[in-house]
Amino acid sequence: MAPPEWTPSSWRKLPVKQQAPYPDEKALKQAHDKLKTLPGLVSVREIEDLKTQLADVAAGRRFLLQGGDCAERFQDCQPELIEKKLKIMIQMSLVLVWGARMPTVRVARMAGQFAKPRSSDTEMLDGEKVASFRGENINGYEKEQRTPDPNRLLEGYFHSAATLNYGRVLVSSGLADIHDAGKWDLDFVQTSSRREEYQHMVSEITDSLHFVHMCGVGADSPHLKTVDLFVSHEGLELGYEETMTREVDGKFYNVGTDFLWIGDRTRQLDHAHIEYFRGIENPIGVKVGPSMAVEDLVPLIRKLWKDPEANPGKITLITRYGCGKVADLLPKHIAAVKAAGLKVIWSCDPCHGNTIVAENGYKTRPFDRIFGELEQTLEIHREAGSALGGVHFELTGENVTECIGGPQGIDEGDLPLRYTSYCDPRLNYSQSMEVAFLLAKNLSVHHDLAPLNEKSKMRKRSMEISDPSKRLRAVDK
């Protein structure tokens, strides 16, 4: 049942942040009214299936991989680009299966990840003060498109529907065929000392497939050709989320996506976003950054999670501190949650807290800082008797040049070559695969699948990356 005095619109009675200032309220209402009549993009059964799998994550039986664009663009709703997004998620997940020795839950930042929070309502563009770009379902990137347009909410819905539909076609028609694991492109480590090691991992994955065949599971088994496709986005524009909220058997589901998360800027306990999120049945993520006071975390979880015993896996805490802050902040948050007896899913977003501005003005993220935060997070959870249950990346399957470092050695001078993000920098295909292999190797250490000397190497690497003398200046986003 819905919480007392809760409705899909009860958030409107409370203070709200990060909502677009629409100049035409009548047009906005017309767009909302139309959206309320449209079919859901996902089914209640699909949401419940994800909840079941996330309960397994909370119990340590699965590992969560969440990733995709910082902010989707309408122009990227193309077959080739959608295929690349899914391919990188599937390949990364198989590598993590090898490392974690458990199934993965794949949740794409896709089919609705348009809106973005901003630090100011205005920004400078070509020397002129204009409305901030809030994502393509709100306004356009070009100067003349900056006025929030309600019709873009409808465009966002239909682009989400097209993306999701094509993604499901790809998954059902063999894109997820595990047999393709032996055909992976490892050219990005052609000159790396890790190439042989990565090839060994891929060989082990394919050897496992051969073992399954010998056990009587045929090559045509649907279990080896398809995967579950779940989607997610930040629940930011509450008017849109309200239109996607439907009542089924006395419960309310947001059928615009499977999984929503609350951003670091909109999680005030007495504000509108928490009010909206507390009433929906979907699994929920909460971004936890340096601004999250220890004493506020447990009350926030309890307000969103009314019945933890009956609804395991409901809450995923997505930590995003930054490589230089995680060692100080994460242990305190873990201790608070453990003391409250709450069994949440802990996921690490090592991207958002490690954003810098390069000397040439491009926003970027150093690969070493990204993996450094991830590595430290794993070790902190182990030392605290907790467990990292998942990871959350901003990434793309394209060969962009937005994050520096990684196997290709991208430096600041390379950033202008293929920088296509409208918002934050993403890991490219090579960097995404590199971080998956490195993470799998680290997870395998935990399962005693790697030599003991690897443990000391990894701890040494974490210490080096967290050394202030080796860190770059972070920029508060």
Annotated binding residue 109: yes
Q: What is the pLDDT of residues 237-296, one digit of tens each?
A: 999 999 999 999 999 999 999 999 999 999 999 999 999 999 999 999 999 999 999 999
Q: What is the pLDDT of residues 452-463, one digit of tens each?
A: 344 444 444 443
Residue 384 covered by a domain: yes
Q: What is the pLDDT at residue 457?
A: 46
Q: 290: number of CA atoms within 13 Å, CB side?
A: 16
Q: How many helices (H) and strands (E) does the chain have?
A: 12, 14
Residue 118 covered by a domain: yes
Residue 126 covered by a domain: yes
Q: What is the pLDDT of residues 72-86, one digit of tens each?
A: 999 999 999 999 999
Residue 119 has pLDDT above 90, yes or no: no
> What is the chain's alpha carbon radius of gyration, rounded to the nearest angstrom?
22
Q: What is the pLDDT at residue 30?
A: 99
Residue 401 covered by a domain: no
Residue 400 covered by a domain: no
Residue 218 has pLDDT above 70, yes or no: no
Residue 351 covered by a domain: yes
Over residues 360-370, the mean pLDDT reads: 97
Residue 450 has pLDDT above 50, yes or no: no
Task: Please name the helix (run of DSSP H) or strand (run of DSSP E) that holds residue 356, with its range, or none.
Answer: strand 356-357
Instruction: Give CA 430 to chain center in angstroms.
Output: 18
Residue 213 has pLDDT above 70, yes or no: no
Residues in CB range of 399: below 8 A, 6 or more apart: 418, 428, 429, 430
Annotated binding residue 24: no
Annotated binding residue 447: no
Using pLDDT thresholds of 50, 70 and 90, give the confidence band for residue 200.
Answer: confident
Residue 181 has pLDDT above 90, yes or no: no
Using pLDDT thresholds of 50, 70 and 90, give the confidence band for residue 380.
Answer: very high
Over residues 351-360, the mean pLDDT reads: 97
Annotated binding residue 273: no
Residue 197 covered by a domain: no
Cβ neighbours around 265 below 10 Å, total: 17
Number of domains in the chain: 1
Angle ∠(12,255,38) on CA atoms, nearest 5:
85
> Quick check: helix, strand or coil at residue 327?
helix
Distance CA 223, CA 212 (A): 11
Model-level pTM? 0.90
Long-range (24+ apart) CB contacts under 8 A made by 398-403 are 398/81, 398/84, 398/428, 398/429, 399/428, 399/429, 399/430, 400/426, 400/428, 401/428, 402/362, 402/364, 402/365, 402/426, 402/427, 402/428, 403/364, 403/365, 403/366, 403/367, 403/370, 403/427, 403/428, 403/431
Annotated binding residue 332: no
Question: Which domain CATH number covers 366?
Answer: 3.20.20.70
Residue 171 has pLDDT above 50, yes or no: yes
Whether residue 108 contacts residue 50, with contact meaning beta carbons closer than 8 Å, is answered with no
Using pLDDT thresholds of 50, 70 and 90, give the confidence band for residue 221.
Answer: low
Q: What is the pLDDT at residue 193?
A: 63
Bridge partner list, 155: none
Over residues 161-185, the mean pLDDT reads: 76
Using pLDDT thresholds of 50, 70 and 90, give the confidence band for residue 318.
Answer: very high
**Cα→Cα distances 9→5, 243, 305, Å:** 11, 9, 19
Annotated binding residue 49: no
Whether residue 415 contacts residue 362, with contact meaning beta carbons closer than 8 Å, is answered with yes
Q: What is the pLDDT at residue 475?
A: 40
For the ranges 105-109, 295-299, 312-316, 446-450, the lowest mean pLDDT is seen at 446-450
Query: Which residue type sits at 212?
Result: V
Annotated binding residue 179: no
Residue 54 covered by a domain: yes
Residue 474 has pLDDT above 80, yes or no: no
Over residues 106-114, the mean pLDDT reads: 98
Percent of the chain predicted with pLDDT > 70? 84
For the ranges 176-180, 238-242, 299-303, the lowest mean pLDDT is seen at 176-180
Structural domain boundaries, residue 376: 10-176+226-394+430-470
User: Whole-number mean pLDDT of the chain?
Assistant: 89
Q: What is the pLDDT at residue 198?
A: 77
